[in-house]
Structure 1
């Protein structure tokens, strides 16, 4: 079986200036990024479909992205895969003192003592905060630009909304319960309806965004992952619509279909889905 060293060698061959692949040779950090995001989504898709053979393949594709970045970093004398692994393992040990009490990979905690999840989470955040402070003190990082400054802009919108909300919640800027969130959703929905009547497209976009942000808040308070929820809804819609397509085609096609037939087929799709779940 091929191993990690073989993959590293393969990557070096692909980037060999004389004998490598023309496509791989012209890539840089920025050009690879869209592929990395796509591979991450394909991993998520395989997991949600419980397609384990496909997941194995997609994890390989995602790993290749890391190896690719490492090779470019090595060529530019910035970092390499070995240094990435070194920093990762050191960080994991540092952030898990409840697993590695002596601060090294070999140390183990007493198996009779089970750390509490809340304590572990609080300790994790405290360690991250100290890491950030030390990094800033060393001059290797820009001064702090605010509590939300390190939430990546490239995250999917719903995921970034959750991270922003969690950061704000950590200092008490949050609704106390779900009831407050529901009130906010009703308020935002009313504002959307008002902008629909006004005809101001930019204002409508803003209000729809606010409504989505509020619904994301509801998902967070309910401990629901909004990205996972919307992907599930997308999949259900696709499955139901494919059922509707079959029904409509049997009745003469879309050009002949009435709104009543479409609604009837949609309800039949929901019933079929429930009966077979």
Structure 2
């Protein structure tokens, strides 16, 4: 196969989620040196991002799903992830709930836990939590209709005045070596502000978001953090996270979580 065609095929493989060197070697039947050379060439052309042990697709401004599309996407997986996340919340904790439908699912599980204080920019969670007696502090700012969350300078200032025991963050995508990707700089920077104020950080994402660089604004993850995802995650998706000393990975069983909720 000519070099140009081979590299084009490799690009399509990376875009399709085949992101680590070992998998690419096996798929194409090529040596590690050849695969790494091709990945470097694709990266120099800004067609992919090089990562430790592999590559990631360059963010391509994918269309953001609407709030309703987010609500109906992967509901069972989000419930399982939220169930696992709720087990980390202890009585007396002050927790931050990020914008998004997975964190909204976590809020549903925290309803009625009056010993927990919730700080949030997620307007979807305010009513159910407050009506159940949970203390809620809402971070002000500009409302983003696609997620019903608040962002911008006012939200950033408010966050600088509080601290939390645990922060539960969502994302459009997460790449082990790069961090969280988002559709806007306001979203990515607000997550950075949250992490500065949190003793512990948890990232809640469904398996389809692992290794996904669908947007072009990034929040670096330069501290210890916990990834909670679902058991649809493939070995090659989880390997880059397991290779990071700062990351604790938990892939939860969707079937097991649903059984717990049905009891």
TM-score normalised by L of structure 2: 0.23
Q: Which has the higher contact order (CA 8 A, sep 6+)?
A: 2
More strand by share: 2
TM-score scaled by length of structure 1: 0.22
The structure with the greater share of residues assigned to helix is: 1
Larger Rg: 1
